[in-house]
Amino acid sequence: MKHFKLISILLVFAVLSACVTPSTTTPQGTQATAPGLPTPVVHVTSAPDPQSALQTFFSAWQAADYAGMYAMITPQSQQNISEEDFVKRYRDAMNEMALMELRYVVHSSTTNPDNAQINVGLTYVSNVIGEIQRDIIFPAVLENGGWKISWADGLILPELSGGNVLSMDYENAPRGDVFDKDGDVLVNETKAVAMYLVPGQILPDQEGTLLYEIANLTGQTQETVLSRYASAGADWYVAMGEASLEEINRRYGVISGLSGLYLVDYTSRFYYNGGIASQALGYVSAVPKEKLDEYMRAGYSRDALIGQSGLEAWGESYLSGTAGGTLYVSGPDGNILSYLGKNEVQPASALYMTIDKNLQIQAEQALGSFRGAIVVLERDTGRVLAMASTPDFDPNLFNPQNPNSLYGLGDVVNNEDRPLINRATQGEYPLGSVFKIITMAAALESGTYTAENTYECGYEFVELEGRTLYDWTWDHYQAELLAEGTGTTKPSGTLTLPDGLMRSCNPWFYHIGYDLYRQGRVTAVADMARGFGLGSPTNIDQIPEEAGNIVNPPEITEAVFQAIGQGQVTVTPLQVASFIAALGNGGTLYRPQLVEKLIAANGVETTIFKPEARGTLPLKPETLKIIQAAMRSVIANPRGTASHRFRNITIPVYAKTGTAESGIPGAPHSWFAGYTDVPDGSLPDIAIAVIVENKGEGSEYAAPIFRRVLESYYVGRPQALYWWEANIGIPKTPTPYGGIPTDTDN
């Protein structure tokens, strides 16, 4: 009896002990056991939630992290499918589906100790066919303290059980046409003909006709056509370019009888005239292999052509339209088992450029075989009327459906002259003497100089201690002395500041840079250059561009060279055309633009272009007038550095010549930039910037090219011959490189 009572007392004590906390908390936050009592041991069992494992699986799925999904399936499932095959299974299915978005919701979940059944509502949102919804049971297994998905094919879609696959049959939308500002077609989908030559089969008495016909059909000069095959082997197949089938048919009676010429037709996107404004317009080609998943998910077929550069890339969402497609399930044997959805093609929009087709062609021909660039802007709006960059390229060669691609594309991508670079917006050059406009503006705005200040412009500038710099007249004098035994070019003499710009006197502007720096106005010229938009992008946006470089001179020598656009100064031709336009329009820097409008397939017009001011030249009205008058004198004054290039021109032109040292001795860059101010307003006034790489002085090459573009705009075609031409477009033999022209500047 006593024994029984003792057991009862112990049981009661145990129950009471369970109701009392056997520890206290120390000041440090640790637990201390109550005196006289044993330390309790607490065991907590908490199984993880299978839905958290499912959430991890779906988060990886939504991120296309198929390897992360594979890590969430059971070891047994991993034995049944390798990670490589698992990833391929999902990637292929999501690509074929053109998956834009994956959504899921858990409807219910049943959990036993070691397994679970989770009912999930899946919604696939396809870029092509819309939504696909399925309810799927996801089985989960608790293994080693964690939940894993017991995977099978049917967890993608029930229809894919047993190794069935998804496939999408695409109907690609015809890519949108591109027109110039007046509606002349530049690019469209049409039947085209690729032309080849086998040089050894050309009959001598037919060669002249051959050159003429190919040049007319492709928009090349006869000289260019000849150069393409002149050095080729007799049995080589030389790609000569493309023409539309319509153009070929008009001349077929003549060209069909020309030996050595072969024609192969194809249907695809076609760029007329071998590509007009090719760097600005861009090109299309096949989706790069590394981006195929991305584009298929976006609704593109494997064989789609996409915009890779220029406006073709910028306008991809407008020009591509929306492909139609039919999604279906087929068995391992290829037989179609079921259809999951279908959608029709949504047509593309048409794009209208601001480019004037005729002017663009004339600008490209004006540059000929030189390396360089031309930009023509509407002076008062920012419209880009022409943007030429040479050498250019044939965008048709990037189309794999074009038979010429096999033979000609390598010559484009491997060309050391980099024809794919748009020199108008991506070429960064020292500006040379055109920059003197900016230095003159800085001098006048500083309050230190006026239009009446004078300077003795001699051969030399000796204000920099221990260094002598020279005027362009000295270079001419030395060249004449070497060639003829006597020099006739004299220094310009005493010049006012506007006269200094007219004569492009180097010492005058060296002096300004030197003097402003000595006054403590160290950044005056650099700040003015930035106020003219240099050193930063023009914000053309629609195509890539570089910012150029304007620095605050770290020491006086750099300030002196900066004052004539040398040293660390670099600019793009587009920046130059932009600030030249601002000088002519009263001071407004407009954002250059290449797109006039978009027109949807239903005829609804989306206007893209509107003039957008991006800044104002930091000039007082009186300063602007002084600069304008000085620029006019470059053309109108007989002593002006370009007056001899503009004889008999009735169009009022305000301009500046420039020669920029390129780093190659004896091969400077030739610059000419200016604007028009035509009183009758019959055509919008324009601003033009021309650069010719490594060819000579500003008035020697760039000025005649400027004049040709001017005539093409106002008259419709060139009027005057270049001094190096026998006929328009046909150079004298041999092609000149230099010479010693008179009355030119540096």
Residue ranges per domain, the chain? 50-165, 181-275, 432-654
Helix (H) or strand (E) holding 568: none
Distance (Å, whole) CA 615 – CA 598: 27
Per-residue pLDDT tens over the stretch 356-404: 999 999 999 999 989 999 999 999 999 999 999 999 999 999 998 999 9
Given the DSSP bridges, would you call strands 653-660 and 669-676 parallel, antiparallel or unpaired? antiparallel
- What mean pLDDT is predicted for residues 312-334? 95
- Residue 103 binned pLDDT confidence (cut-offs 50, 70, 90): very high
* Span 349-357, average pLDDT: 97
Over range 80-88, report the average pLDDT: 97
Would you say residue 570 has pLDDT above 90? yes
Average pLDDT, integer, range 527-551: 97
pLDDT score of 19: 38
Q: Could you check whether the bond before residue 611 is cis, i.e. omega within 30 degrees of 0?
A: no
pLDDT band (50, 70, 90) for residue 224: confident
Say yes or no to pLDDT of 447 above 50. yes
Whole-number percent of the chain with pLDDT over 70:
92
pLDDT surpasses 70 at 98? yes
Cβ density class 286-319: b for 16+ within 10 Å, e for less: bbeeeebeebbbbbbbeebbbbbbbbbbbbbebb
Numbers of helices and strands, H then E, in the chain: 24, 31
Q: CB atoms < 10 A from the CB of 48, how many?
A: 11
First to last CA, the chain: 128
Residue 26 has pLDDT above 80, yes or no: no
pTM of the model: 0.88
Contacts for 332-335: CB closer than 8 Å, 24+ residues apart: 332/162, 332/163, 332/164, 332/165
B/e letters for 55-88, b = 16+ CB within 10 Å, e = fewer, are ebbbebbeebebeebbebbbeebeeebeeeebbe
Q: pLDDT, tens digit, for every residue of 450-506?
A: 999 999 999 999 999 999 999 999 999 999 898 888 889 999 999 999 999 999 999
Mean pLDDT for 199-217 is 94
- Between helices 207-218 and 245-255, what is the axis angle to 10°? 170
CA angle 352, 356, 361 (to 5 degrees): 120
pLDDT at 728: 86
Q: Residue 73 gets which letter from DSSP? A: B
Per-residue pLDDT at 144: 87
pLDDT in tens, 148-180: 999 999 999 999 999 999 999 999 999 999 999
Mean pLDDT of all residues in 322-329: 96
How far is the C-alpha of 378 from the C-alpha of 590, rounded, in Å? 10
563 touches 525 (CB < 8 A): yes
Choice among 27-31, 427-431, 713-717 with the minimum mean pLDDT: 27-31
Lowest pLDDT segment from 12-21, 169-178, 243-252, 495-504: 12-21
Conformational region of residue 694, where left means phi above 0, alpha means psi within -120 to 50, and beta covers everything else = left
Q: Is 433 helix (H, G, I), strand (E, B) or coil?
A: helix
| Strand, coil or helix: 445 | helix
pLDDT at 45 over 60: no
Q: Two tokens at 338? A: 């079921």
Band (pLDDT 50/70/90 cuts) for residue 308 is very high
Mean pLDDT of 110-117: 92
* pLDDT the model gives residue 734: 56
Look over the chain and give the mean of its residue pLDDT values, rounded to a whole number.
90
Element (H or E) spanning 660, and its range? strand 653-660
- Is it the case that residue 18 has pLDDT exceeding 60? no
- For the four alpha carbons of 648, 651, 656 and 660, in that order, the dihedral sign comes to negative
The domain defined by 50-165 folds into Nuclear Transport Factor 2; Chain: A, (3.10.450)
Tally the residues of the chain. Answer: 746
Rg (CA), the chain: 37
Superfamily of domain 432-654: DD-peptidase/beta-lactamase superfamily (3.40.710.10)
Average pLDDT (140-146) is 92
Q: How many CB atoms lie within 10 A of CB 664?
A: 10
Express each pLDDT in 599-632 by its tens digit. Answer: 999 999 988 899 999 999 999 999 999 999 999 9
Please give the CATH topology (third level) of the domain spanning 181-275: Penicillin-binding protein 2a (Domain 2) (3.90.1310)
Q: Which residues contact 68 (CB under 8 A, 6 or more apart)?
A: 56, 60
Tell me the per-residue pLDDT of 631-675, one tens digit each, with 9 for 90 and over: 999 999 999 999 999 999 999 999 999 999 998 998 999 999 999
Euclidean distance between CA atoms 741 and 193, whole angstroms: 45
